[in-house]
Amino acid sequence: MTDGERISSSELLRRYEAGERNFQRVILQETNLQGANLWGIILWEANLWGTDLRNANLQKADLRGAILEKADLRGANFSDVNLTDARLIEANLSSSNFTRANLCGVRLVRANLQSADFSGAKLSKAELIQSNLIGTKFLGTELSEAGLTAVTAIAADFEKAILTGACLEDWHITDRTNLDGVTCEYVYLRNQQEERRPHTGNFAPGEFTKLFQLSLETVDLIFREGVNWKAAAYSFNNTQVLNKDTPLAIQTIENKGDGTVVIRVQAPPNTDKEKIHSDFWQGYEFVQKAIESQYQARLEDKDKVINQLFVLFDQSQKLMADSNKQNNFHAPVGSVDNQGHIGISGNQNTTGNAAGEVKGDQKSIQHIHNLTPEKQTLAEAAAEIQKLLKQLEQTNPTATEAQQIEHINDETTPKFKRRVVGALQATGEAAIDEFILENKYLKIAKSAIKGWLKPE
C-alpha cells in the first residue's frame, strides 16, 4: 500500500479480511474500529489520532512510532504488541490489556491507565507524566528510566517491577500501593535526572520503600493550572467535616513552577486516602464552577454597560456634529447614575445654546455656547476623558491615579490627541479649566491632557 494513504475504517477492515496485513503509515484519524479484530496487523507509524479502538483486538500488532493521541483504547487487547516510541498522549487505556507489550520510549502523558494491565511489559524510558495509574498493574514490569512525574498511583501494583533510574517527582501513592519486591538501585526526585537518591551508590535492600514511607502518610493534591484558593479552603474544610473521625492537616504547600502547586495533606497511615482524595476534588470542582459562574455573570453585566456606553457616545458625537451644523439643537448627553443605569437627557431651544448634563454623582462636563473650534475640541476632550474614567470605574473601581491616566492614554486615539494638542496651542493650557473646572476628575483630566503636549 502507499505510504500516508488515507483510508476509512471499513476499507481497512475489508482489506484486512482479504488477507492484507501491512498498513504502515496509513492515516485513520478519528475513525471507528470499536471491537475490530486486527490480530498481527502492521500499523507502523500509522496516524490513529482520536480513533475509537474500544474492545478491539490488536494482539501481536506492530504499532512502532504510531500516533494514538486522544485515542480510546478502553478494554482493548494489546498484549504482545510492539508500541516502541508510539505517542498515546491523553489516550484512554483504562481496563486495557498490555501484558508483555513493548512500550519502550512510549509517550503516555496525561493518559488514563486506570485498571489497565501492564504485567511483564517493557516501559523503559517511557513517559507516563501526569497520568492516571489508579489500580494499574505493573507486575514485573520494566520501568527503568521511566518518567513517573506527577502520576496518581493510588492502589497501583508495582510488585517485582524494575524502577532503577525512574523519575518519581510528585508521584501520588498510598498504603495500598504495592511496592513489594521492587528492584530499584536508584531513582530521581526531579526531572532531567536531578536529585538522585541515594546521592551516591545504590539502595540497600528495603531502602527504597523507606524513602517513600512519607508519601504513604500524605494525600497529595496536585493542581496543574494554579489554585483557586477560595475553592481549596472550602473543599478542605468540607473534607474534614466528611471525615470527622480522621485527623487531617496540611503538611506542605509547594510551588513547582509552570502553574503546578502540590498541597500535601497529612493523614494516618491506615486512612482511606482514595476517599480523602475523592472528597476533596469533588468539593473543589463544585465550588470552582460556582465561583466561575458568578464571575461570568458579573463580567457579562459589565460588558453590557460598556457596550451601551459606546453606543451612547457614538450617538452623542453624531448629534453634536449635527448641532454644530444647524446651531439650534441641544445634543443629548449620556449619563450613568450611581446604580449603573444609563439615560439620555436633552432639550431644544432657539437661542443656539447647547448644554448637557451627566446624572448621578457627576456634574456637568459640557457648556458649549457658540464655541470656537479649538474650545469645542477641548470640551470634547473633557467629555471623552470623563467617559473613559467612568468605564474604568465600572470595571476597576480601585484603579490608582496612574492606572487611570494610563487607561485614558491607551483608549484615546492618536488623531484625537493631535486635535487637542492643536487646540491648546491656539488657546493656551488655561483653557482646560473652562471645561473641567467642576469635574471631580480635574487633576487626572488635566494631567492626561497636558501629558499629550510632551513630545513622544
pLDDT given at position 199: 87
Q: So where are the chain's domains?
A: 327-451
Could you report the per-residue pLDDT of 118-154, keeping only the tens digit for each?
999 999 999 999 999 999 999 999 999 999 999 999 8
Decide: residue 198, CB within 10 A, 0-12 exposed, 13-18 middle, 19+ buried. middle
pLDDT given at position 85: 97
Nearest CA among 295, 340, 286, 331 for reference residue 313? 331
Q: Please state, in angstroms and rounded to a whole number, the distance separating the CA atoms of residues 31 and 50.
A: 7
pLDDT given at position 142: 98
pLDDT given at position 346: 41
Under DSSP, the state recorded for 330 is -
Q: Report, in angstroms and rounded to the nearest whole number, the Rg of the chain calculated over CA atoms.
A: 34
Q: Which residues of the chain have pLDDT under 50?
A: 327-369
Q: What is the mean pLDDT of the chain?
A: 81
pLDDT given at position 257: 76
Q: Please state, in angstroms and rounded to a whole number, the distance separating the CA atoms of residues 387 and 334.
A: 9
3-state secondary structure 293-338: HHHHHHHHHHHHHHHHHHHHHHHHHHHHHHHHHHCCCCCCEEEECC
Nearest CA among 187, 209, 190 for reference residue 198? 187
Q: What's the pTM?
A: 0.54
- Residue 1, classed as helix, strand or coil, is coil
Nearest CA among 62, 104, 69 for reference residue 85? 104
